[in-house]
Structure 1
Amino acid sequence: MDSKDICIEIENDEFYSKFLVESVKPLVGENISVTEQVNKLTQGIEKLTKSLESQVLAKHNDLLTQASNISDLEAMLETVRSQVQVLLRGADKLKDRVHTPYHELETQTIMLERVQTTCNLLRHTSKILMLWNKLIAVKDNPTKEAMILFELNELISDYDFKGITLLDDVLIQVEQQQKKLLQSSTDLLQTSLLNGDKVKLLQCFKVFHNLQCTEEQIKCTVDSILKDLRKEINTALNVQMVSIEVKKSSSGRIAPGKANIMNAQDFKIKLWDNIDKLFKNEMYNSCIKVVMLQNVVNELHAIGNFRNIAKKFWDELSIIFSNELEKSPSTVSQSVEIDFPKLLKCFNDLLSRLKCKNLEMNRSCLTKWENSFLSKSLAKLLEPVRSMWHLNQVPTMDQVDNAIRVIAEALSISLADKNLSISLANSVAKSIKQMNVEAEQRLSMDSDVAQIIEAPTSSQQKNADLCNVLHYFTSQIKRVLANMNSMLPQESIQIVQNSLKDISSLPILNMFAESIKNSLYLILMTMHDEPDLIRAEDPTNKTLSCSPYMKELQQFVSRCKDIYLSLFHDKQALNECCINISKCCIERFMQHVCNVRPISTYGRAKLQADCKHLETSLSPLVNDITELGDHYRQLKALTLLLEKKPQDIAKSQHEGALLPYSLVMMYLFSYGGQQLLAPHACAGWNTHKLIQWLESHKNERDRLEFVAGALQRYQNHVRQNQITCYDEVYPILLQLLEDARKTLKK
């Protein structure tokens, strides 16, 4: 049987396969007995033995060849081993040749290093002794002494001189001398700061610089000053000590039943007296020391960069004050919140006295008290405004005066600090806005608020009273600002002034203005019904009376001014309203005058007289008619226009008249024959429709195109009917239209 077959047989046999795994378990539990198992194993071993014998017999030549190759390999390995032994012996010899000089060189290097160290020690010893002798000779010059001591310390720190008996005493005396010099300079520094002796202070810092301890000394000095100030601040804000002082000063003079009130008032007075003394004395003296320290250091440019000593000190001082105030009892904190401007004044006065440019107040440390003060100030400003409206009635002048007084007080207490003034100005602006909102909520918007037929209604009277209250309120605030103009920051004034811009009687007045203008328009519309405008008489040498519609207009304007507009006290808004009414009236009057059809020579003279009477009619509204500007000049131009011939009108228009071309051309149509229809007649409109169109088309280009359409229609009519000549005014109208279009292109 082939060896492969035997292996396969053993692998597939259930019994033999169990012996092929790595961990063979006992087969005692099998169904085959032990004897049978041993016999079967013996048979398997015999099969394997026979298979091996047959394989060895079949391949004995190959096995013999491999065995001889193994012998050759062993011989080669022996040769390599002998060569390796020779190589190792050579490496040992080379190692000896390298290590021996290396050890010798290392030994010599150590010896040289020791010699060099010894030389350096001797050299340093010599120099130390020389400097020591030099130090003894300059005992009266602290600056030079400090310089020599610094050099000695540098030399001493380079090596360990322990065991050199020659220097033992010197080293001890150098250390003692340095401590003594540093202590004496530190004491002199404190004395110089106390006495303000700048010369000695300079000497101290030269010593510190030479000893290389300037930064440390500055820090210690500043920390010591801050430590003392912390105690002083704590003492000034100590409520128990303040109470004891108050009791001592007020004992025996407080009436029964008023002890608490007087004690509270006395406590407040004593607390602020302590704070005031703290800033004027202790804090000022300490700051002066630091500022002097800063100035001295700045003069010694070579000692390093210490430009922010005073600034850092001030920032630390502000933080310390804030922390101590934070830890103080509620009674102290509340007093500071109520009278916060006093605290700011103390800070600002202190900075002003110090006259140090780098110092600025650190407001962030006082944010808590400032915010609380501003919150209470805003509540105080809003309270009188809200209280005066609680009954939904028009406030009295006394109530308004009370609100003004509170606003004036708020602005005045902030004069010492710009930032606080701006913050309070914003609070004042909020109270002004609240006043305006409260008034606007109570304005009546009933249907009769703009009627101008009957006597003023209760709603109209109430609206006028509300407007007058607001006007009085704003005028009084403006007076306060004017009185404080030189003291208040311009930013604060601007904030308050901006808040007043939203308050005006104009919105209510404009409601009356619209009603008045509408009535005026209706009166002016009756101009076209006047029989005198077509009267066939020569007006020369005749005195022309005022037209009936103009008399009605004059009476109406006078009545409106006396009965309705006189209710309002806001002269600026009233003047603006009256000017608006007057301008609209003139504009509408000119539109009607230029579109009266038909019109006679007498009618033109009558309209010319009405132009002059219109000035009189508007006088109740406008004291100086020239305030109407271009509208007044156009009215004057219309007066002159009414007495000119078409050719003269065209000439004056070409020379630069004030009246719009469209309006002049509409007027010139009145000189034409029946075939030259006016623009609105061409459109089939009545006068009312024309006026509506003019109001909705104020652009001159649109109006010119409207007039041009009428001229084009007339031209077509002439051509269609083969009329031999145009109307006399037609060429003039064409020339004006061309001139108008050229003007618009410029």
Structure 2
Amino acid sequence: MEAKDVCVEIENDEFYSKFLVDTVKPLVGENISVSDQVSRLAQGIEKLSKSLEKQVLAKHNDLLTQASHISDLETTLESVQSQVQGLLRGAEKLKDRVHTPHRALEEQTTMLERVQETCNLLRHAAKMLALWNKLASIKDNPPKEAIILFELNELIGDYDFEGIVLLEEVLKEVEHRKKELLDNSTALLQSSLLNGEKEKLLQCFKVFHNLQCTNEQIRNSVDSILNDLKKEIGNALNVQMVSIEVKKSSSGRVAPGKANIMNAQDFKNKLWDNIDKLFRVEMYNNCTKVIMLQNVVNELHAIGNFRNIAKTFWSDLCTVFSSELEKSPLNVNQSVEIDFPRLLKCFNDLLSKLKCKDLEINRSSLTKWENSFLSKSLGKLLEPVRSMWHLSQVPNMDQIDNAVRIIAEALSISLGDKQLSISLANSVAKCIKQMNVEAEQRLSLDSDVAQIIEPPTSSQQKNADLCNALYYFSSQIRRVLVNMNSMLPQESVQIVQSSLKDVTSLSVLQLFAESIKNSLFIILMTMHDEPDLTRSDDPTGKSLSCSPYMKELQQFVSRCKDIYLSMFSEKAALNECCTTIAKATVERFIQHVCNVQPLSKFGRIKLQIDCKHLETALAPLVSDMSELGDQSRQLKALSLLLEKSPQDIVKSQSEGASLPYSLVMMFLFSYAGPQLIAPHTCAGWNIQKLMQWLDSHKKEKERLDFVAGALQRYQNHVRQNQIATYDEVYPILLQLLEDGRNTLKQEK
């Protein structure tokens, strides 16, 4: 059996395979007895031994060859080892030949470095002595002295001169002179800032620049000023000190035997006196110092870029003030919250006196008090508005005047600060909105609020009173804005004016306008029932008056104006409402006139008279008809149209008449014979249906298409019935239709 087969047999055998793993577990628990297991192991070992013997016998020549090669390899290795030993001895000798001159070169280099260092030391010492001698000869020239001291200081910092006896005294004197010069310049800086001596300040900063300590000196000076101001702010806001001062000032009026109790108003007055004095004196004086410091530094361009000294100081000062105010007792904070505009005025007045364009109030540091003030101001503004609507009663003029007075006060206290003014204007806008909401909630929406038959109902009267109250409120606020316009920021004025746009009587007036228009439309509808419009007799030489429907319309308009519309005081809204009614009436009148059929020559003269009387009928609503714009021009054009022949009408339209082509074409159907039927009649509509269609189809193209449909039907009728000639109006209508469509294309 081959060796490979023996290995495969052992690996696949269930018993032998357990001995091929790394960890062999005891086989005592197996079903095979121990003696059988030993026997089988012996058999397996014997098989492996026989397999090994066969392999050795089969390859003994190769094994002998490899054994001889091993002895040759050992001989070769011994030869290589002897050569390596010789190489190591040669390397050691080469190392000695290289290291010896290197050590000598290193020692010489060290000596050269020491010599060079000594030379530099001597050279620096000589330069220092020369500078020292030069310094001794300088008198009363601190900037030049500072230059020399700075150079000496740089030389001293380059090397360690300790142990050089010759320089010990010089080193001490240099340090002393530098400290003395710096102290003197610092003292001169403080005195110059205090006295406002600009020339001396310039000299100080030249010294600082030459000593390379400008930044440090500026920072120390500004910090010192800021610390002094912090103490002054703390003292001004110190409630105990304020109380003591109030008690001292009021000691003379304390009743005998009674405790000296500080009056709240006295405390408030004294506190604000302290704050006013703080800004007017201490803060102004110290800010002036910093600004002068900034100006001097700006003049000395060579000393570096220090453009934000004053700006940074002011920002820090606002933060310090806010911090000190935050730490103050509750009554101090409450006083500041209530009179926050006064605090802003102190800031703004200070900035105005300082006249430094880079400075502005750090609003973020005052946010807490500003928000609290705005919150209380909004509550103060809303309170009279809410109280005046108690028990759903319409507010009287005194209540409205009180609310307006509070609004005027709110706007006036912010005059010194634009941002606060805008914030308060927003609060006023909320107050106005609240007033409008309160009124709208009380407006009656009953079914009778728009009736125009009986005398005004209680609901109508209440709605009018509410509108009038709102109008009085808005007009008074507008008067306040006019009086304060030159003082208030335009942004604030615009905010309040925008909020007033929603305060109007127009919504209630529109209810009346719709009812009045509908009634007027019904009256105009009776135009088609007038017998005079179809009379065939000649009107020449006859004295004609307006039609009965026109008289009725005139009486109705006058009655509505006197009884219903006169209840409202807001002229602008009333005029807009009246103009809307008048425009709709004229427009509907023109539509009816252009669609009256049949219509005789007598009827045209009668309608021409009605056109003139319509202006009289609408006079209670519109004093000047030209205010109606297109409607006024169209009414005049209609009056002229009624006296023209169809041919003249075509000519006037081509010359740019005011009436739309569609209405002129509808009017020309009244000249046609019975075969050429009007568009609405052709559609099977009555006049009421036609008016509804015209209201919902305002575009001229749709109206032209509507008339064109009637013309097409007439053309089909002529062809079907083989009528020899067209109606004489038909070509005129076709010409107008074409002209109208061309005009629409040009307008596009």
Contact kept, 8 Å, 1:254 with 1:262, in 2: the verdict is: no
Superposition pairs of residues 52-451 of structure 1, within 5 angstroms: 72-253=72-253, 263-451=263-451
Identity of aligned residues (%): 78
From the superposition, tell whether residues 637 and 261 of structure 1 become closer, same or farther in structure 2 (CA, over 3 Å). farther
Distance 1:552 1:63 in 2: 145
Code of the residue aligned with 1:235 in structure 2: it is N
With 621-630 and 233-242 compared, the bigger mean Cα shift is at: 621-630
Name the counterpart of 1:720: 720
Contact kept, 8 Å, 1:532 with 1:603, in 2: the verdict is: yes
Which sections of structure 1, spanning at least 5 residues, go unmatched?
26-50
Distance 1:538 1:259 in 2: 109
From the superposition, tell whether residues 555 and 83 of structure 1 become closer, same or farther in structure 2 (CA, over 3 Å). same
Contact kept, 8 Å, 2:534 with 2:603, in 1: the verdict is: yes
Superposition TM-score, scaled by structure 2 size: 0.91
With 663-672 and 153-162 compared, the bigger mean Cα shift is at: 663-672
Contact kept, 8 Å, 1:586 with 1:635, in 2: the verdict is: yes
1:266, CA displacement in angstroms?
Answer: 0.7
1:652, CA displacement in angstroms?
Answer: 1.2
Distance 2:721 2:259 in 1: 113
Name the counterpart of 1:729: 729
Q: SS state of the match for residue 454, structure 1? A: coil
Distance 2:133 2:178 in 1: 15
> Deviation string for 1:453-510 (max 9, x for gaps)?
0010011011111111111111111111100100000000101111111111111101
Contact kept, 8 Å, 2:708 with 2:737, in 1: the verdict is: yes
Distance 1:743 1:56 in 2: 122
Distance 2:52 2:725 in 1: 150
Name the counterpart of 1:519: 519
Contact kept, 8 Å, 1:450 with 1:512, in 2: the verdict is: yes
1:390, CA displacement in angstroms?
Answer: 2.3
> Deviation string for 1:110-149 (max 9, x for gaps)?
0000000110011001000000000001132111110000
1:300, CA displacement in angstroms?
Answer: 1.0
From the superposition, tell whether residues 67 and 696 of structure 1 become closer, same or farther in structure 2 (CA, over 3 Å). closer
Distance 1:262 1:170 in 2: 67
Distance 2:543 2:694 in 1: 34
Name the counterpart of 1:614: 614
Distance 1:719 1:181 in 2: 122
Q: SS state of the match for residue 623, structure 1? A: coil
From the superposition, tell whether residues 240 and 513 of structure 1 become closer, same or farther in structure 2 (CA, over 3 Å). same
> Deviation string for 1:713-745 (max 9, x for gaps)?
222222333333222222222211121111111
From the superposition, tell whether residues 455 and 70 of structure 1 become closer, same or farther in structure 2 (CA, over 3 Å). closer
Code of the residue aligned with 2:95 in structure 1: it is K
Distance 1:413 1:450 in 2: 44
Distance 1:481 1:502 in 2: 17
Which sections of structure 2, spanning at least 5 residues, go unmatched?
8-12, 27-50
Name the counterpart of 1:652: 652
1:92, CA displacement in angstroms?
Answer: 1.3
Distance 2:507 2:54 in 1: 131
Q: SS state of the match for residue 674, structure 2? A: coil
1:22, CA displacement in angstroms?
Answer: 11
Q: SS state of the match for residue 252, structure 1? A: helix
Answering whether residue 426 of structure 2 is matched by residue 459 of structure 1, we say no
Contact kept, 8 Å, 1:505 with 1:573, in 2: the verdict is: yes
Distance 1:255 1:524 in 2: 87
1:404, CA displacement in angstroms?
Answer: 0.5
Distance 2:568 2:59 in 1: 139
Name the counterpart of 2:483: 483
Answering whether residue 743 of structure 2 is matched by residue 743 of structure 1, we say yes
Name the counterpart of 2:29: none
Q: SS state of the match for residue 464, structure 2? A: helix
Answering whether residue 683 of structure 2 is matched by residue 687 of structure 1, we say no
Name the counterpart of 2:675: 675
1:568, CA displacement in angstroms?
Answer: 0.5
1:64, CA displacement in angstroms?
Answer: 8.9
1:77, CA displacement in angstroms?
Answer: 3.7
Distance 1:712 1:736 in 2: 14
Code of the residue aligned with 2:393 in structure 1: it is Q
> Deviation string for 1:46-87 (max 9, x for gaps)?
xxxxx9999999999999988876665554443333322221
1:235, CA displacement in angstroms?
Answer: 0.2
Alignment root-mean-square deviation, CA: 3.6
From the superposition, tell whether residues 258 and 556 of structure 1 become closer, same or farther in structure 2 (CA, over 3 Å). farther
1:345, CA displacement in angstroms?
Answer: 0.8
Tell me the number of residue pairs that the alignment of Structure 1 and Structure 2 aligns.
730
Distance 1:516 1:497 in 2: 31
Name the counterpart of 1:589: 589
With 315-324 and 56-65 compared, the bigger mean Cα shift is at: 56-65
Contact kept, 8 Å, 2:254 with 2:260, in 1: the verdict is: no
Distance 2:609 2:257 in 1: 85
From the superposition, tell whether residues 354 and 298 of structure 1 become closer, same or farther in structure 2 (CA, over 3 Å). same
Contact kept, 8 Å, 1:669 with 1:677, in 2: the verdict is: yes
Contact kept, 8 Å, 1:538 with 1:601, in 2: the verdict is: yes
Distance 2:664 2:77 in 1: 134
Distance 1:554 1:280 in 2: 73
1:695, CA displacement in angstroms?
Answer: 1.5
Name the counterpart of 2:564: 564
Code of the residue aligned with 1:290 in structure 2: it is V
Distance 2:55 2:717 in 1: 141
Distance 2:743 2:258 in 1: 87
Q: SS state of the match for residue 456, structure 1? A: coil
1:414, CA displacement in angstroms?
Answer: 0.6
Q: SS state of the match for residue 253, structure 2? A: coil
Contact kept, 8 Å, 1:535 with 1:603, in 2: the verdict is: yes
1:256, CA displacement in angstroms?
Answer: 10
Distance 1:55 1:432 in 2: 116
Name the counterpart of 2:508: 508
Superposition TM-score, scaled by structure 1 size: 0.91
Distance 1:257 1:479 in 2: 55
Q: SS state of the match for residue 503, structure 2? A: coil
From the superposition, tell whether residues 733 and 92 of structure 1 become closer, same or farther in structure 2 (CA, over 3 Å). same
Distance 1:727 1:73 in 2: 138
From the superposition, tell whether residues 463 and 262 of structure 1 become closer, same or farther in structure 2 (CA, over 3 Å). farther
Contact kept, 8 Å, 1:451 with 1:515, in 2: the verdict is: yes
> Deviation string for 1:190-235 (max 9, x for gaps)?
0111111111101001101111111111111111101100000000
Q: SS state of the match for residue 323, structure 1? A: helix
> Deviation string for 1:12-44 (max 9, x for gaps)?
9x9xx99x9999x9xxxxxxxxxxxxxxxxxxx
1:373, CA displacement in angstroms?
Answer: 0.5
1:253, CA displacement in angstroms?
Answer: 2.2
